[in-house]
Structure 1
Amino acid sequence: MKNDCVHCGISFDFYEKGNFFVEGDSIDGYLDSSFTKMNDYIAYKPYSSLEEVGEEWKKYETSNNVRIGLSRSTKPERLIDPSTFMTRMQERETVSFIQRGALTSFLQPIISMGDEAVYGYESLLRAAGNDHTFSPGKLFQVAQKTGLHSLLDQRAREEAVKARQDKVKAGVKSFINFLPSTIYNPDFCLQHTFRIVEKYQINPSDLVFEVVETEKIEDVPHLQRVLERYKKEGMKVALDDVGAGFSTVDMLERLQPDYVKIDRSYIDRCDEDAEKQEFLHSTSDQAKKLGIITLAEGIERKEEFDLCKKIGFDLAQGYFIGKPAAQLVELR
């Protein structure tokens, strides 16, 4: 089990000038007279431009047994595999923003089906200010390719917790997305999030941590440990996109979430599709038997809202109710 932040995408800088480092069990074949060996496993050479670094990288392009990196001194900093190194270099503007750029959370309202009062808000990551046009999709795509998805996911969770400050009153829930694949050891990796919750004096029971993942999660026991760790701190957990991807209905009993969010593909024009209606009925019935709160997301039409309410869903979310915004807005 990985217990240090090196594996969680710690920052990596591309200096315009400095020293290029190479580390491995058999590096002699890569070295020329410009290198200085520190020991049998690591050596460095000076460079005066990133173009030089790009040329040097080509020597290691197909190597699986070395790590490379940059430093402004003769002491190595972070060393990574050559493939990830080059991807980060090619995407360094986005990588720099992932590491240090200003982020914020937009809030999208979630309402109770019964009285249509605000129940909570989902926090959605955005680039802050007008100087950057990075979309959340772009940020997470590059983060995944460059090994920085854990760092970005951690930063997103922090911004989501901070978004409650002076905006969301106590008792109203905050739904916060997280990627289970970025949490290697729940006891260790979630400490940063728990410290942020304590720092901003947020009631843990007002936070709902929501599993999101584009690929199927195969390590269900690991996911169980992550969810149990959140619950141990007094927080709630939710499964997103039930009915698509890994979150199939038969996982509800095994994972025992506090909430389930139905995949929007089953909500879209559900009033016109008998098969979707059958799925919504069966999911709602099973969740109620397990004491799980149900949320229909992606509602964009009154007909969808009315049907989900009739079926018995507890909560609703979507453009019909309210769009994500930097500030809280009055509902329809």
Structure 2
Amino acid sequence: MGVDCQFCGTAVSIPESGALLFDLPSLFDRDVAVSSAALSEMKNSKVITYETKTQLQNVLKSLITKKEPEEWIYVLDASAHIFPITLRHLFERLEHPELAEIIHQSDFTSYFQPILDMKSNSIFGYEALLRTSYKDIDPGMLFSFAHRSGLHSMLDQKARRTAVKKKAQYLSEGQKMFINFLPSTIYVPEFCLQHTFQIVKEFNVNPEDLVFEVVESEKITDVPHLKSILDTYQASGMKVALDDVGTGYSTLDMLSLIQPDILKIDRSYVRNCNQDEANQKFLYNVMDRAQTLNIKVLAEGIETMEEWNWLKAHDIDYGQGYFIGKPKPYPQDKLIHP
């Protein structure tokens, strides 16, 4: 049975029949097998049994309108195995079992989008972008479901493994692989990142060839915690990148504290940078601060030759975007850049 690291044992598979329990003693704070003695302690707890998953769905639809969706409940299966889960997470997993199964089975792959060294026009590396084999299920849909169902830790971890494996299979030593990660899934960096470090050893990848990108859409407010995550990656020989600089929490004032290796400029500041004076002013500011702190700058979302030429003329370190190359199942031999 698969587990979700975020909740230290939240099961992925929902029993075909069983019971929901409420108000259990604090003894049941994780996925455990329940002893006969412990079962006797449930006499003061509310128990709702179900015979089919359809019946369970109907029960949840009723409960979720009466209770707080984030309330923790407990699922008991036929073998007296119990695990905690929130009402919302259980409801979402029952509503979309096909998406839960994709995550559970790692039924996805990584596409490669090239990143160029703009000074030499050579390939610096690739960003790993998650893709499924299902035409009607795009990555955004999968990540949205993972957040709603409490499976984002599992998806994040499995996506990292897929990306490292792809690096080992298709990229030569020295070529970087940029891998996104969700800081909210990493509670204690020294412990939570051990799985990633084990994967790197398993596939015999040079840690210096990996660049871990902070996914900024989570609106992180705990900057010291983020710094501890980045420090842990860097202490293991890996590089770290701050994505979408210019939006969210990653203001220029934070750069000296966080000290990433690479800044990825949000595409909104790259668009029409050859003629948009406001964007140019922002880019000058970023480049000046980055140079002072010895941080490399990567412009993402380059879509035109004019943007490329302006960025190259102003000594941006790296470039990424459809003008250079679109995400592909395999690294590209021929790129679109001039």
| Equivalent runs, 1:1-332 vs 2, <5 Å | 5=5, 7=7, 10-15=10-15, 17-25=16-24, 38-41=39-42, 47-58=50-61, 60-61=63-64, 62-63=66-67, 67-69=73-75, 71=77, 73-127=78-132, 129=133, 131=134, 133-329=136-332, 330-332=334-336
Cross-structure match for 1:31: none
Deviation at residue 85 of structure 1 after TM alignment: 1.4
**CA deviation string 1:8-37 (max 9, x = no partner):** 67442134x3212314249xxxxxxxxx99
CA contact (8 A) 2:216 2:244 kept: no
* Aligned-residue CA RMSD (Å): 2.2
- Distance in 1 (alpha carbons) for counterparts of 2:20 and 2:156: 29
**CA deviation string 1:223-274 (max 9, x = no partner):** 0000000011110111010011111111111111110010000001111210
Counterparts in 2 of 1:167 and 1:89: CA distance versus 1, 3 Å = same
Task: Look up the SS of the partner of 2:81 in the other structure.
Answer: coil
- Distance in 2 (alpha carbons) for counterparts of 1:122 and 1:48: 46
- Distance in 2 (alpha carbons) for counterparts of 1:124 and 1:319: 14
Counterparts in 2 of 1:8 and 1:143: CA distance versus 1, 3 Å = farther
Counterparts in 2 of 1:101 and 1:156: CA distance versus 1, 3 Å = closer
- Distance in 2 (alpha carbons) for counterparts of 1:190 and 1:47: 38
- Identity of aligned pairs, percent? 43
CA contact (8 A) 1:242 1:263 kept: yes
Q: How many residues align?
A: 316
CA contact (8 A) 1:284 1:311 kept: no
Q: Which runs of 5+ in 1 are unaligned?
A: 27-35
Task: Look up the SS of the partner of 1:218 in the other structure.
Answer: coil
**CA deviation string 1:23-58 (max 9, x = no partner):** 4249xxxxxxxxx99223367665332222123335
**CA deviation string 1:39-89 (max 9, x = no partner):** 233676653322221233356433456513252x23224321223211221
- Distance in 2 (alpha carbons) for counterparts of 1:58 and 1:304: 51
> Which shows bigger deviation, 251-260 or 57-66?
57-66
CA contact (8 A) 1:44 1:74 kept: no
Deviation at residue 153 of structure 1 after TM alignment: 0.7
TM-score after normalising by structure 2: 0.87
CA contact (8 A) 1:19 1:44 kept: no
Task: Look up the SS of the partner of 1:163 in the other structure.
Answer: helix
CA contact (8 A) 2:116 2:319 kept: yes
Deviation at residue 93 of structure 1 after TM alignment: 1.8
CA contact (8 A) 2:19 2:47 kept: yes
- Distance in 2 (alpha carbons) for counterparts of 1:180 and 1:308: 30
- Distance in 2 (alpha carbons) for counterparts of 1:10 and 1:133: 27
**CA deviation string 1:98-148 (max 9, x = no partner):** 222411100110011111000011111111x4x563211001101111111
TM-score after normalising by structure 1: 0.89
**CA deviation string 1:296-329 (max 9, x = no partner):** 1100001001111112111111010011101111
- Distance in 2 (alpha carbons) for counterparts of 1:266 and 1:9: 42
Q: Which amino acid aligns with 2:92?
A: T
- Distance in 1 (alpha carbons) for counterparts of 2:157 and 2:146: 12
Counterparts in 2 of 1:50 and 1:278: CA distance versus 1, 3 Å = same
- Distance in 1 (alpha carbons) for counterparts of 2:9 and 2:166: 24
